[in-house]
A = this chain, B = another copy of it.
Amino acid sequence: MRELGADQLDDLARGAGILGTGGGGDPYIGKLLAREAILAHGPVTVLDIDEVPHDATVVPVSGMGAPTVLLEKLPAGTEELTALRALEAVLGRRATHIVPIEIGGVNSMIPIAVAAQTGLPLVDGDAMGRAFPEAQMVLPTLIGVSTTPMAIADDKGNTLVIDAVSNRWSERIARAACVEMGCQVSSADTVLRGDQLRDGLVPATLTLAEELGRAVRLARAGHRDPVEAATRLLGGTRLLTGKVVDVERRTTGGFARGRARLEGQDGVLELSFQNEHLLAVRDGEIVATTPDLICVLDTDTGEPVTTETMRYGLRVTVIAAPCDPRWTTPEGLVLAGPRYFGYDCDHVPLPKEASRRE
């Protein structure tokens, strides 16, 4: 058990931005929400997975939509709590713990805000170990836990509660509604019992995000290479250092989809994304694929660059890092591997040196 205060948010947001693999929504906006909630309600209690009682009702609360929309259409700040209360109403019981559904971007910050607002403890972990674009892409799907009931709330005060026959159907229905509601909504879904956390979460990812953000900051302050510090901590590998020369981006079907082209001394790298980076092709060869992490960092500062803020001329370094091993099982790859997203290729394992530091 530890306390999470406002002064830790900068590191955490930076690290979560990197783990968000280009997606998960702008962590800056999430940081403002979390900071305001902590300043108003006090610091948040963070628990390790092992500290959560087996009969706990652990509720992930998150934002859903296209990060491109989040940039221009700020949350009202009340949606998360509305979604949580709507979920509790159908559950017939209150949440006892809050947890991030993904450790990427704004969705690592929103649960902090909700934990502060409700006074509930926050669980150190998340259901992906990164960010993914679709709601069924969570470890709970792999262990048969339903993402529904799923409660969704928008900035206008509309709510809906979905009960679906599969986690894929809940995503489809929620996404369609989300687009109509303005492409940026809050969701409370994928309720976990305390004894499901070990199989349903990647542990200690809030801690990892904070360490990652701190490592980048300290490297920068010590005039060391911040990208190198992040790469080492993630057990990753450097794919390319260069310049963004082209970005093609469109917000369709409730996602920010597109491609980016980077040129460096070592060659040309093409990234494809759907909210998150999904495929990296260097000089025509596939060098990294989802579900591994493909992260874009500012070469000078080590700050994460999200897909919606990527633009011509940015000097960036792209790194790849191994995902949680449950994602590269056959079932994990069916759920979030390259073929699911329509890429005609198998998952390409990262080079041996790329394995996360333990």
Q: A residues engaging B (CB < 8 A)? A: 86, 89-90, 156-165, 169-170, 172-173, 175-177, 179-181
**Which residues does chain B contribute within 8 Å of A164, judged by CB atoms?**
158-159
Could you say which residues of chain B place their CB within 8 Å of the CB of A160?
Answer: 160-163, 173, 177
Given A176-B176, A176-B179, A180-B176, A162–B158 Cβ distance below 8 Å? yes
Would you call B177 and A173 a contact (CB within 8 A)?
A: yes
Chain B residues whose C-beta falls within 8 Å of the C-beta of A175 in the assembled complex: 180
Give the Cβ gap from A298 to chain B, nearest Cβ, in Å: 38
Q: Which residues of B contact A158 (CB under 8 A)?
A: 162-165, 169-170, 173
* Nearest Cβ on chain B to A5's Cβ, whole angstroms: 35
Q: How distant is the Cα of A89 from the Cα of B177 in the complex, in angstroms?
A: 22
Contact A173 B169 (CB under 8 A): no
- The smallest C-beta distance from A284 to any residue of chain B, in angstroms, reads 37
Can you report 14 residue pairs joining A to B where beta carbons are below 8 Å apart? A156-B165, A157-B165, A158-B162, A158-B164, A158-B165, A158-B169, A159-B162, A160-B160, A160-B161, A160-B177, A172-B180, A173-B177, A173-B181, A177-B177
Contacts of A90 in B (CB 8 A): 89-90, 161
Report the separation of the CA atoms of residues A250 and B162 in the bound assembly, to the nearest whole angstrom. Answer: 29
Complex Cα–Cα for A358 and B184 (A): 52
Q: Which residue of A165, A170, A180 has the most chain B CB atoms within 10 A of its CB atom? A: A180
Q: Once the chains are docked, how many angstroms separate the CA of A86 from the CA of B161? A: 10
Residues of B within 8 A of A179 (CB): 176
Shortest C-beta distance, A66 to chain B (Å), equals 15
Q: Bound complex: CA of A86 vs CA of B90, how far in Å? A: 10
How far, in angstroms, from A177 to B179 measured CA to CA in the complex? Answer: 10
Give the nearest-CB partner of A169 in chain B. B158
Residues of B within 8 A of A180 (CB): 172-173, 175-176
Q: Closest B residue to A181 by CB, please name it.
A: B173
Residues of chain B lying within 8 A (CB to CB) of residue A172: 180
Additional 12 contacts, C-beta under 8 A, given A160-B160, A160-B161, A172-B180: A156-B165, A156-B169, A158-B163, A158-B164, A158-B170, A158-B173, A159-B162, A159-B163, A160-B162, A160-B163, A161-B161, A176-B179
CB distance from A212 to the nearest CB of B (A): 37
| A177 vs B160: C-alpha distance when bound (angstroms) | 11
| Most central of A89, A159, A165 by chain B CB within 10 Å | A159
Q: Which residue of B lies closest to A160 (CB)?
A: B162
Q: Nearest CB to that of A165 among chain B residues?
A: B157
Nearest to A172 among chain B residues (CB) is: B180
With both beta carbons as reference points, the residue of chain B lying nearest to A162 in the complex is identified as: B160
Alpha-carbon gap, A176 to B165, bound state (A): 18
CB distance from A146 to the nearest CB of B (A): 12
Least CB distance, A329 to chain B, in whole angstroms: 28
Min Cβ gap A242→B in Å is 40
Residue of B nearest to A82 (CB): B163
- Alpha-carbon distance between A164 and B161 when the two chains are bound, in angstroms: 11
Q: Looking at A157, A172, A177, A181, which has the most chain B CB atoms within 10 Å of its CB? A: A177
Which residues of B are found within 8 Å of A181, using beta-carbon distances? Answer: 173
In the assembled complex, the Cα of A179 lies from the Cα of B175 at a distance in Å of 12
List the B residue with the shortest CB-CB distance to A159: B163
A180 to B86, CA, bound (A): 23
